[in-house]
Amino acid sequence: MAEKQHAQYIQWGDELRRIRSSAGLMQDQLANRVNVAASTISSLERATRKPKADLADALDAALSTGGTLRRLFEDLTNQRQVPDWFRNAVLLERQAIEIREYEPLFVPGLLQTAEYAYSMLLGRRNRHTRDELMQIARARAERLPALADKRPVMWFVVRETALATVVGSGRIMKDQLGHIAALIEEETIYLQVLRDAPITPGLTLPLRINTLNANQSVVYAEHALGGETFEKAEKVAEIMSLFGSLQASASSPEDSLAMIKKLEEEMDGNA
């Protein structure tokens, strides 16, 4: 009988295998370094055994990863409230040194308050209970704080419509706009507003470019059923070019902040 895989840790096992292979080590050689059986390394890589924090630390030390396996273990362990189809995107953003994102319809997920996220989720009439929706919304709101230690450079281009559309209530939207303005003023993020126009490069679906290091970027493109990642150089270059066009067509960061503050002032906080 085939051993059962722990789906939650398949990516962790794949990453362990990749790092071990890159280091030129066989499973038994790595096992000797961390004082476990070779079969333990094999089962971890196949995700038939769940990793533990102390073993992740030992493997990081043995492979000189700088903590990669421990961080990935924590990310996967803490992602129970993130939809399955989106987990890969969340893990990518936590490994990124730079994030570039375009959002035409809503406030980008990284910037959403829990109330805004909850209102969005509630409107979709899915099968979750209200308590479950609130848990998911809080998990979404915690994505940005989770990046605080790594402090990636974050550039956002957001269509004006996404910021002007009331989600939940006037008060919720006012708080959301104030939250974005504060993030800009703190220089946690850089954001440009793309004004609505008949001809614009903004007539496209949401996309994100995660730059993992100087030589690797991964594109995440959303669609109605989830999203897809693209790593091939020509695809990444195409999306990089599109994002450049979006930035060139958008208002400056300074003008964008002024627009957001104006929208915040005009929003009816009692509605």
Tokens read off for 146: 């989770």
In a domain, 119, yes or no: no
Considering the domain architecture, whether residues 262 and 155 belong to the same structural domain is answered as: yes
- pLDDT value at position 43? 94
Q: How confident is residue 85, by pLDDT bands cut at 50, 70 and 90?
A: very low
Instruction: Calculate mean pLDDT across residues 47-51.
Output: 92
CA distances from 87 to 117, 172, 216 (A): 17, 26, 20
Q: Of 77, 97, 121, which marks where a domain is finished?
A: 77
Q: Are residues 69 and 88 in the same domain?
A: no
93 shares a domain with 50: no
169 and 209 part of one domain: yes
pLDDT at 35: 95
- Tens of pLDDT, residue by residue over 230-244, are 888 899 999 999 999
| Whether 96 and 221 share a structural domain | yes
209-226 pLDDT tens trace: 999 888 888 888 887 666
48, 98: one domain = no
Task: Indicate whether 124 belongs to any domain.
Answer: no
Any domain includes 12? yes
> Domain containing 54: what range?
7-77
pLDDT tens-digit readout, 150-161: 899 999 999 999
pLDDT band with cut points at 50, 70 and 90 for residue 16 = very high
Q: Are residues 37 and 167 in the same domain?
A: no
Percent of the chain at pLDDT > 70 equals: 92
CA–CA dist 136, 6 (Å, integer): 22
Do 65 and 106 share a structural domain? no
Listed in sequence order, the DSSP H helices in 96-232 are 114-123, 130-141, 160-164, 170-185
Structural domains counted in the chain: 2
Mean pLDDT, the chain, rounded, equals 89
Please check whether residue 21 lies inside any domain of the structure: yes
For the domain that residue 260 is a member of, what is the CATH number? 3.30.870.10
Give the pLDDT of residue 79: 52
35 and 92 assigned to the same domain = no
pLDDT in tens, 117-146: 999 988 876 677 888 888 888 888 988 998
| Residue 128 maps to a domain | no
Which residues make Cβ contacts (< 8 Å) with residue 98, sequence separation at least 6? Answer: 152, 153, 154, 155, 209, 210, 211
Do 107 and 212 lie in a common domain? yes
Q: Are 86 and 48 in contact (CB under 8 A)?
A: no
- Same domain for 166 and 257, yes or no, is yes
Pairing of strands 153-159, 98-103: parallel
Mean per-residue pLDDT, 199-210: 90
- pLDDT of 87 > 60? The answer is no
CATH of the domain at 64: 1.10.260.40
66 touches 57 (CB < 8 A): no
- The pTM assigned to this predicted structure is 0.69
Residues 153 and 183 in one domain: yes
